[in-house]
Amino acid sequence: MADRTSAGILLYRRLRDGQLEVLLAHPGGPYFIERDMGDWTIPKGEPDGVAEPLDMVARREFAEETGTPIDSTAPTIPLGSIVQKGGKIVHAWAVEGDLDAAEALSNTFEMEWPPRSGQRQVFPEIDRVGWFDPEQARLRLKASQIPFIDRLEAALGE
């Protein structure tokens, strides 16, 4: 089995009081409706098969999952990679920016639902995004992605 790879953006901002916040995404679809803590993720996705630098994949996927593009010239902080429980390798970059979480609009996917019903339904890849301080972000993120928060704080001198 080939390694699965994803690339994502951890968007961050500073509030007026200097408090750091990061933007996380809650997976869409029927399996995540009742799930919350430990299931959020950074907006990310897989390369589309075209030879494309992973940082550009991260920017494209962020735009697809939030409806907000990241400027291709915006400075990035490399956050390295992690391996998720299922073996997927996730590469991440932090970018400073802002967006209105209430206005975020994700792309969609189609699947058979309910299972074995023969009916197909369309669901958003991300059903909502939210801004969280690092402590809350660590509680909401998949455990394997928590190092991205730690690495961002270290890079910012927190």
Helix (H) or strand (E) holding 64: helix 54-66
Enter the tokens of residue 32. 């995540």
Domain of residue 77 covers 5-156
pTM: 0.91
Q: What is the pLDDT of residues 91-101, one digit of tens each?
A: 999 999 999 99
CB contact at 8 A, 127 and 26: yes
Q: How far apart are CA 127 and CA 130, in angstroms?
A: 10
> Quick one: DSSP state of residue 70?
P
The three-class DSSP label of residue 45 is strand
Average pLDDT, the chain: 92
> How much is the pLDDT for 32?
81
Structural domain count of the chain: 1
Mean pLDDT within 62-81 = 94
Q: What is the pLDDT of residues 116-128, one digit of tens each?
A: 999 998 998 999 9
Q: What is the pLDDT of residues 23-60, one digit of tens each?
A: 999 998 887 878 789 899 999 999 987 788 999 999 99
> How much is the pLDDT for 1?
40
Domain harbouring 74, CATH code:
3.90.79.10
CB contact at 8 A, 114 and 31: no
CB contact at 8 A, 36 and 54: no
Lowest average pLDDT, out of 75-79, 85-89, 93-97, goes to 85-89
- The one-letter amino acid code at 157 reads G
CB contact at 8 A, 26 and 39: yes
CB contact at 8 A, 26 and 109: no
